Amino acid sequence: MRCGIIGVGLLGPGLPGWAASRAVLAGEAPWELGEVPLLPPAALPPTERRRTSAAVRLALAVAAEAASASGLPPDGMETVFASSNGDGAVVGSILEALHTPGGAISPTQFHNSVHNAAAGYWGIATGSHRASVSLGGHDDSFATGLVQAAAAVVARRVPVLFCCSDAPLTPPLDGRRPTGAIFGAALVLVPGDAGTVLSVEMADRAEPASAGALGPLMAANPAARALPLLQALAAGRVARIGLPLLDGGAVVLGVEPGAA
C-alpha cells in the first residue's frame, strides 16, 4: 500500500511538537527530557473542555498539529485513533469506584471510558461528521493502526488522519502494564504520491527498527513505536522500517522523501 504523508503531529517527553522536535529527531540536537505540555483543547466548548483527561488532550493535540500542517480542513478527513491503553486513568478510576461501598460511578467518567472517547471529542471539536474508527493493539497499536489507516486511504481514496497515542495507566494496573511516558504521534495520509511517500506492507518477519538515542522512549510507550518513522521523516531520508508484531509477522514501512 502506498500513500502520501502531508502532515505530522508529535508530543512526548523532550519532544514538544513536530516542528519543535525535528532537530532532535534528525540527530542534530540532543534529546533532553522535559515536561509534556497538555493544554485543554481550545476548539471544544467549555463544558467538554473541562471534561477532557490527559489521554484525550494528548490525542487531540497531536491530531490538531498534523491536521493544521496538512492544510486540509480538519472536518474533511476520516480518522483512525489507535491506542493500547485508551483512557486508562478513567478506567482505573471507575474500577476503584466499583469497589467502594455502593459502587456508584460517575456518568461523565463512564462515557469518557469508551476507547473512542478521543475520537468523539475530536468530532465535537472539529464539527466533523466523517467516519472514525478507534483501535486497540497493545504493543502493536502503532503498526496495526497505521495499516488500517493506509488501507482506508488506498481502498476508499480518502484523506485519513491517523493518531496513535498512549498515556500511562494508574496504580495498580500500571504494575501489569507499565507505560513509562506520555507519547502521541499523528499523520495525515492522502491517496497518491503527495508529500513524503509512505509504503506499508505486511511481511513474515523483519529486523526491528531502532530509534537510536530515543530507544528508551520507544520501549517505554507503545505509541512511541512511531519514532523510527518520525526520525526518517525529520531527517528527510529514505528508510525501510521493520515493526515486528507480538504474535509473529511484521509490518514494514518504506519512506521516500518527496521531490519538494
Partner 1 sequence: MTPPLAPLAMPAFTATSAMGTGLAATREALHARRGGLAPCDLPGMPEGIWVGRVPGLEEVALPESLARYDCRNHRLAELALRQDGFAEAVAEAAARFGAHRVAVVMGTSTSGIAETEAAYARRDGDGALPPEFDFTHTHDLYALPRYLRARLGLRGPAVAVSTACTSGARTFLEAQSMIAAGLCDAAVVGGVDTLCRMTLHGFNSLELLSRGACRPCAADRDGISIGEAAGLALLVRAEDAPEGTVALLGAGASADGHHMSSPHPEGLGAIAAMRAALEAAGEAPGEHGVDYINLHGTGTRANDAMEGNAVRALFGDRVPCSSTKGWTGHTLGASGALEAVIAALCVADGLVPGCLGVETPDPGFGVDVAVANRAAPVRRVLSNSFGFGGSNLALVIGRT
Using CB under 8 A as the criterion, what x/- string covers residues 170-199 for binding partner 1? -xxx-xxx----------------------
Of residues 42-61, which lie at the interface with partner 1 (CB under 8 A)? 48, 51
Interface with partner 1 includes 33 (CB under 8 A)? no
Q: Name which of 88 and 228 has its Cβ closer to partner 1.
A: 88
Looking up cell 502503532 gives: 142
Q: Is 155 left (phi over 0), alpha (psi -120 to 50) or beta?
A: alpha
3-state secondary structure at position 161: strand
| Residue 79, strand partner residues | 132, 161
Interface with partner 1 includes 4 (CB under 8 A)? no
Please report, for residues 1, 109, 149, 247, 251, the alpha-carbon distance to residue 205 in angstroms, rounded to integers and kept in the order given: 17, 41, 21, 11, 8
**Interface pick for partner 1 out of 14, 136, 180, 216 (rule CB under 8 A):** 136
Of residues 226-245, which lie at the interface with partner 1 (CB under 8 A)? 245
In DSSP notation, 30-87 reads ---------PPPTTS-HHHHHH--HHHHHHHHHHHHHHHHHTS-GGGSEEEEE-SSSS
Q: Name which of 91 and 182 has its Cβ closer to partner 1.
A: 91
Q: Which of 231, 152, 217 is nearest to 253 (CA)?
A: 231
**Interface pick for partner 1 out of 147, 198, 243, 255 (rule CB under 8 A):** 147
**Interface pick for partner 1 out of 7, 12, 13, 86 (rule CB under 8 A):** 86
Binding site for partner 1 (CB under 8 A): 1, 48, 51, 75, 84, 86, 91, 94-96, 98-99, 103-107, 110-117, 119-121, 123-124, 126-138, 140-141, 144, 147-148, 150-152, 154-158, 171-173, 175-177, 202, 204, 245-249
